[in-house]
């Protein structure tokens, strides 16, 4: 039975020994003094993560355990790693922002004897003053319980010694095993956690379910709580501020990377930890490359600039796109294409109401774009709109820029993007006067019980508003 879970733990000074349920527990060696690692005062409270774990249990089948691993540390080159970013599902359930960890969430409370009863176990890095000198303070087992609200926490080293009877569970739910894991001499690294998990489940592979947990997490994460919306609004406001500063500063002779520097400076100045994704600043012909991130081209006065950017704040990312004339004035052809996209976006946003299908905003935007492009003679059949508008109009937004969700009918609490575009690359089968005009307008929309709320409306998006703002003096003028 699941409640007969036994642990076999080799005794060292760092961890305890539990041979069977009736044996006494020898507690781990005392950790260094508890340290609150957080300087920010607006982080998600531990109750948020406790609620998420409880809501997951409601979706889990009886006699099941969910197993989630922290993201691996990813290497950039030689002995330099990328700045660490936690797996969103793992963060959503634990609040932990450290690598080398695994959390087990049980559907039912497990009785391990000696008064130890729990429905969750977190294994994470132990406190280590030597390593913390290089990489910063760790949460530790006591910190995880005190600051994250985890009921039972142990060091990563202890996981290998736990003889967990995973075979006794009817369902072992996992999202996926982390990739890019490098073995090392560190006994509590992620490699050893995964290896231990695989050894524990080698006789019960038929019980491993690597699809249901993803759907459960998508169901939970697609509805944003009030606490999450507060953080999303902050990330979106930072992003709008960056778009506004770029509008004031943009001039012919600048480079794409200088425009990137402006927006990412504003992110950091306002408190963002990261860009939520590589910033897209594409000018001229690069406006027609959907996910262009090289950002090296010099900008001339005839170029449009697509600025698709998002600040990430406490894990939550914005995603706001504006299209700007480098010289501050749209040409007549650019105005025509821009206004088609703007009209399409307004039609898409109007469809962002509870009960509508997720793809209704896309269908509304596509209908306008295809009709208008036919009127201009750029296409002769509506289906050819895909030559110039080749992506979806909406995706969920949250802990990922393309956040988890079921793409089911829209519900109150969804936050989605609405981002139609037209991209007419050089050499397209139309009048050359349209070539190298790429336009995308993207806003972040909160689905309410009534009318949708445009969370990113602070950043101007009409031609008149943009041209007026671009005349203003910039603090980045030099």
Q: What is the 3-state secondary structure (H, E, C) of 424-464?
A: ECCCCCCCHHHCCEEEECEEEEECCCCCCEECCCCCCCCHH
Buried b / exposed e along 430-440 (16+ C-beta atoms within 10 A): beeebebbbbb
In the DSSP assignment, the letter for residue 474 is: -
Copy the structure tokens of residue 210: 């690597």
pLDDT at 31 over 80: no
Provide CB contacts within 8 A for 346, sequence distance 6+: none
Q: Is 79 among the residues known to form the active site?
A: yes
The residue from 87, 256, 308, 443 that is catalytic is 308
Q: Is the pLDDT of residue 404 over 90?
A: yes
User: Rounded mean pLDDT of 236-247?
Assistant: 98
Angle between helices 256-269 and 226-249 (to 10 degrees): 140
Look up 395 and say whether it is catalytic: yes
Catalytic, out of 98, 189, 260, 319: 319
Half-sphere exposure of 349 (CA within 13 A, CB side): 21
pLDDT at 15: 33
pLDDT of 286 strictly over 60:
yes
Does residue 184 surpass a pLDDT of 90?
no
To the query of whether residue 165 is one of the catalytic residues in this protein, the response is no
How many whole angstroms from its chain centre is CA 433? 39
Longest CA pairwise span in the chain (Å): 83
Angstrom distances, CA of residue 14 to CA of 112, 113, 172, 455 = 20, 21, 29, 49
Instruction: Locate 76 and state its tokens.
Output: 């950039």
Q: Is the Cβ–Cβ distance between 139 and 148 less than 8 Å?
A: yes
Rg (CA), the chain: 26
User: What is the spatial order of strands in the sheet that 311-313 belongs to?
Assistant: 274-275, 311-313, 316-317
Token pair in block for residue 198:
């695989």
Element (H, E) at 117: strand 117-124
Classify burial at 129, counting beta carbons within 10 Å of its beta carbon; exposed 0-12, middle 13-18, buried 19 or more. exposed
Catalytic site residue from 423, 443, 444, 461:
423
Better-predicted residue by pLDDT, 200 or 91: 91
Q: Which residues contact 48 (CB under 8 A, 6 or more apart)?
A: 95, 225, 227
Average pLDDT over residues 243-247: 98
Catalytic residue among 182, 296, 386, 402: 402
419 is a catalytic site residue: yes
* pLDDT of 277 strictly over 50: yes
Average pLDDT, the chain: 90
Q: Which domains does the chain have, with CATH numbers?
A: 2-220 (3.40.350.10), 223-469 (3.90.230.10)
pLDDT number for residue 190: 86
> Roughly what angle, to the nearest 10 degrees, separates helices 360-376 and 332-350?
150
Tokens of 208: 């491993």
Among residues 334, 419, 443, 444, the one annotated as catalytic is: 419
Query: Which of the residues 391, 407, 411, 457 is marked catalytic?
Result: 391
Determine whether 402 is an active site residue. yes
CB-based contact 173:209 (threshold 8 Å): yes
431 is known as an active-site residue: no
Active site residue 440: yes
Angle at the Cα of 71 from the Cα atoms of 174 and 145, rounded to 5 degrees: 85
Q: Which of 362, 395, 400, 461 is catalytic?
A: 395
pTM above 0.85, yes or no: yes
Q: Is the pLDDT of residue 301 over 90?
A: yes
Q: Specify the pLDDT at position 178.
A: 83
Asked if residue 23 has pLDDT above 70, the reply is: no
pLDDT recorded at residue 20:
34
Q: Which of 442, 443, 444, 461 is catalytic?
A: 442
pLDDT for the residue 140: 94
Percent of the chain residues topping a pLDDT of 70: 89
pLDDT at position 34, please? 72
> CA torsion sign, 71 to 76 to 78 to 84?
negative
Per annotation, catalytic residue among 202, 265, 291, 451: 291
| pLDDT given for residue 196 in this prediction | 84
Q: What are phi and psi of 299, to 5 degrees?
A: -100, 130
Annotated catalytic residue within 40, 79, 473, 478: 79
Q: What are 97-147's pLDDT values in tens digits? A: 999 999 999 999 987 665 668 999 999 999 999 989 998 999 999 999 999
Residue 391 is a catalytic residue: yes
Name the percent of the chain lying above pLDDT 90. Answer: 79
Predicted pLDDT at 17: 34
Q: What is the DSSP letter of 152?
A: S
Whether the pLDDT of residue 70 is over 60: the answer is: yes
pLDDT band at 185 (very low <50, low <70, confident <90, very high): low
Q: What is the pLDDT of residues 82-100, one digit of tens each?
A: 999 999 999 999 999 999 9
Judge whether 57 counts as a catalytic residue.
no
* Residue 201 confidence (pLDDT): 84
């Amino acid at each position: 039975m699941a409640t007969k879970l036994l642990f076999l733990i080799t005794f060292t000074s760092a961890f305890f020994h539990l041979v069977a349920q009736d044996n006494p527990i020898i507690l781990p060696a005392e950790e260094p003094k508890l340290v609150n690692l957080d300087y920010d005062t607006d982080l998600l409270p531990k109750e948020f993560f406790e609620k998420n774990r409880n809501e997951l249990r409601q979706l889990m089948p009886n006699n099941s355990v969910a197993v989630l691993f922290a993201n691996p540390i990813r290497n950039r080159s030689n002995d330099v790693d990328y700045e660490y970013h936690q797996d969103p599902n793992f963060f959503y359930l634990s609040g932990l922002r450290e690598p080398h960890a695994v959390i087990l969430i049980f559907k039912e409370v497990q009785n391990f004897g000696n008064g130890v009863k729990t429905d969750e176990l977190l294994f994470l890095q132990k406190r280590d003053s030597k390593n913390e000198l290089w990489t910063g303070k760790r949460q530790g087992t006591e910190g995880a319980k005190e600051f994250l609200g985890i009921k039972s926490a142990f060091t990563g080293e202890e996981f290998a010694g736990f003889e967990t009877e995973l075979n006794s569970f009817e369902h072992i739910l996992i999202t996926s095993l982390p990739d890019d894991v490098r073995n090392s001499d560190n006994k509590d690294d992620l490699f050893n956690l995964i290896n231990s998990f695989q050894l524990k489940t080698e006789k019960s592979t038929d019980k491993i379910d690597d699809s249901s947990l993803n759907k459960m997490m998508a169901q939970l994460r697609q509805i944003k709580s009030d606490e999450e919306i507060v953080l999303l609004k902050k990330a979106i406001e930072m992003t709008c501020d960056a778009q506004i500063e770029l509008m004031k500063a943009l001039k012919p002779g600048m480079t794409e990377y200088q425009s990137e520097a402006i927006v990412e400076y504003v992110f950091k100045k306002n408190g963002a930890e990261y860009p939520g994704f590589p910033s897209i600043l594409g000018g001229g012909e690069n406006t027609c490359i959907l996910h262009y991130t090289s950002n090296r081209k010099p900008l001339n006065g005839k170029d449009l600039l697509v600025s698709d950017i998002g600040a990430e704040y406490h894990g939550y990312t914005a995603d706001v796109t504006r299209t700007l004339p480098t010289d501050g004035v749209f040409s007549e052809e650019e105005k025509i294409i821009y206004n088609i996209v703007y009209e399409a976006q307004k039609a898409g946003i109007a469809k962002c109401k509870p009960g509508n299908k997720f793809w209704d905003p896309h269908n509304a935007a596509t209908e306008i774009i295809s009709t208008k492009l036919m009127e201009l003679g750029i296409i002769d059949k509506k289906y050819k709109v895909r030559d110039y508008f080749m992506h979806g109009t909406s995706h969920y937004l949250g802990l990922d820029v393309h956040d988890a969700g079921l793409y089911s009918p829209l519900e109150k609490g969804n936050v989605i993007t609405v981002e139609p575009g037209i991209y007419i690359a050089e050499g397209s089968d139309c009048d050359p006067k349209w070539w190298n005009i790429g336009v995308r307008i993207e806003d972040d929309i909160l689905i309410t019980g009534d009318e949708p709320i445009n969370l990113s409306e602070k950043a101007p998006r009409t031609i008149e508003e943009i041209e007026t703002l671009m005349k203003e003096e910039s603090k980045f003028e030099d």
